[in-house]
């Protein structure tokens, strides 16, 4: 897709220190400058010895302890036949040893001798090999990874202090509707507070993007058009909410035809049926000249979050070069019956728990209207009922998507 290439311009990366790299997307393969581990070492607390002695028919092995090796304090001497080295996890393996017997499998008749059954292990056991985790010159983390805590630890284990990450996408948000009021304003008859910009800000912050808040825009074609032009001049992506339902859509449609190529959709899903998606042409003077991706989400507060989850989240990640963008689905047992008409995908809000047998269960969070944000706030997952699915009986397994880390 041309647009994603434009935003994925190879020059569009920046270098950040590890403590600022969480949730960013790695721009280039991170090549390991070293072997990890750098040398063979012990995987257990125990005794290191030459595993050849296990090949004899003797069922019992007795070895003399000739020294000790600790992590960071290697043993310098030699280990001969019939000898062993007391060794701690992470300590370097001496050159003449290849096997470690864990301490708990040994008996000792004196301070100097240990014995164990030879069938408890094979030559080479309990040793971590040089380069076993990562080999020098190979990719330790591939480009496109959404960086998680383990990735930062991994980079640090290689001695790497900075990472090349994609620049943050600039995402403009606006709310449209004459009835909307900003926080701090008084509510007059028929008006409501604009909540969508705050849920969207939260959703976007989870993805660590640069947010451009374009505020509330009245249902007036001229004002709306100016707001779209203004947002498109600054942002890679514009997300609006409201003004795409029947009636209003015609009016937004007309503006969109002038500004770019935008389609209006009636999606077979609930909540979130009306939606607009398309591309706004580059605004004159915008540098570099880039198109702006546009998502016109429905106005209902739950529909905004559901359509964001279903369409916008993955698109934003993909646009910025992320490799894995689809959140995982898992299954749980529905505690109650759920009414569902085939022919549309439904996103019901629910709480994941466990039953007395330890199996995962879900129960819906009260009334599921598209405007009832409390159903979302109390939930920790969506129950996703697929397009062709009909009614669900209590005890049926259903697909769920967990909010944690996503929403």
Residues of the shown chain interacting with Mg ion in the complex, contacts defined by CB under 5 A: 177, 242-243, 299
**Closest CB to ligand AMP: residue number:** 299
Q: Is 192 in the site for ligand AMP (CB under 6 A)?
A: yes
Give the shortest CB-404-to-Mg ion separation in angstroms.
Answer: 31
Which region among 99-107, 142-150, 194-202, 392-400 touches ligand AMP (by CB under 6 A)?
Answer: 194-202
Binding mask 222-261 for ligand AMP (x = CB under 6 A): -------------------xxxxx--x-------------
* Cα–Cα distances in angstroms (integers) from residue 272 to residues 87, 248, 379, 389, 393, in the given order: 62, 15, 18, 18, 25
Draw the binding track, 364-403, toward ligand AMP (x: CB under 6 A; -: no contact): -------x--------------------------------
User: Helix axis angle, 248-259 relative to 221-234, nearest 10°?
Assistant: 50
In 55-209, which ranges are E strands? 60-69, 83-87, 99-102, 113-117, 127-128, 139-141, 162-166, 170-176, 180-181, 192-193
x/- site string to ligand AMP, residues 93 to 122, per CB under 6 A?
------------------------------
| Selection from 231, 287, 290, 280 nearest residue 260 by Cα | 280
Three-class secondary structure of residue 398 per DSSP: strand
Site for ligand AMP in 139-178 (CB under 6 A): 175, 177
Nearest to ligand AMP of 194, 346 (CB atom): 194
End-to-end CA distance of the chain: 27
> Helix-strand-coil percent breakdown of the chain, rounded to 5?
20, 35, 45
State residue 150 phi and psi, 5-degree precision: -65, -35
162 alpha-carbon distance from chain centroid: 20
- The residue among 46 and 177 lying less far from Mg ion, judged by its C-beta, is 177
Report d(CA 93, CA 129) in Å as an integer: 9
Least CB distance to ligand AMP at residue 311 (A)? 16
Looking at residues 263 to 322 of the shown chain, list those that interact with ligand AMP (rule: CB under 6 A).
Answer: 298-301
Site for ligand AMP in 196-215 (CB under 6 A): 196
Could you tell me the smallest distance in angstroms from the CB atom of residue 140 to ligand AMP? 43
- Chain residues binding ligand AMP by CB under 6 A are 175, 177, 179-180, 192, 194-196, 241-245, 248, 298-301, 371
């Amino acid at each position: 897709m041309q647009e994603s290439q434009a935003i994925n311009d190879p020059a569009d990366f920046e270098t950040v220190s590890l403590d600022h790299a969480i949730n960013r997307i790695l721009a280039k393969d991170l090549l390991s400058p070293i072997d990890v581990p750098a040398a063979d070492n012990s995987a257990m607390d125990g005794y290191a010895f030459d595993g050849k002695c296990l090949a004899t028919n003797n069922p019992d092995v007795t070895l003399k302890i000739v020294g000790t090796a600790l992590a960071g304090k290697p043993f310098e001497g030699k280990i001969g036949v019939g000898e062993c080295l007391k060794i701690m996890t992470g300590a370097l393996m001496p050159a003449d040893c290849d096997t470690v017997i864990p301490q708990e499998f040994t008996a000792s008749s004196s301070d100097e001798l240990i014995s164990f059954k030879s069938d408890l292990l094979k030559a080479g056991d309990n040793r971590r090999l040089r380069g076993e985790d990562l080999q020098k010159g190979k990719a330790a983390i591939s480009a496109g990874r959404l960086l998680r805590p383990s990735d930062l630890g991994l980079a640090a284990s290689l001695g790497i202090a900075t990472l090349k990450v994609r620049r943050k996408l600039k995402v403009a948000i606006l709310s449209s509707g004459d009835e909307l009021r900003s926080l701090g304003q008084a509510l007059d008859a028929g008006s409501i507070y604009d909540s969508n910009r705050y849920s969207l800000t939260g959703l976007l912050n989870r993805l660590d993007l640069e947010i451009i808040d374009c505020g509330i825009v009245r249902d007036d074609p001229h004002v709306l058009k100016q707001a779209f032009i203004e947002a498109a001049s600054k942002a890679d992506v514009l997300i609006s909410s409201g003004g795409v339902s029947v009636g209003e859509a015609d009016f937004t449609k007309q503006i969109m035809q002038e500004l770019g190529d935008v389609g209006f959709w009636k999606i077979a899903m609930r909540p979130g049926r009306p939606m607009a998606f398309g591309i706004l042409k580059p605004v004159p003077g915008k540098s570099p000249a880039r198109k702006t991706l546009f998502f016109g989400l429905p106005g209902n507060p739950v529909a905004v979050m559901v359509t964001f989850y279903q369409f916008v989240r993955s698109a934003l990640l993909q646009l910025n070069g992320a490799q894995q963008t689809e959140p995982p689905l898992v299954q749980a047992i529905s505690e109650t019956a759920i009414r569902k008409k085939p022919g549309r995908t439904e996103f019901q809000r629910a709480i994941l728990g466990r039953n007395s047998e330890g199996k995962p269960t879900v129960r819906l969070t009260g009334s599921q209207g598209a405007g009832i944000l409390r159903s979302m706030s109390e939930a920790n997952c969506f129950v996703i009922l697929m397009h062709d699915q009909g009614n669900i009986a209590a005890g049926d397994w259903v697909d769920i998507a967990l909010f944690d880390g996503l929403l």
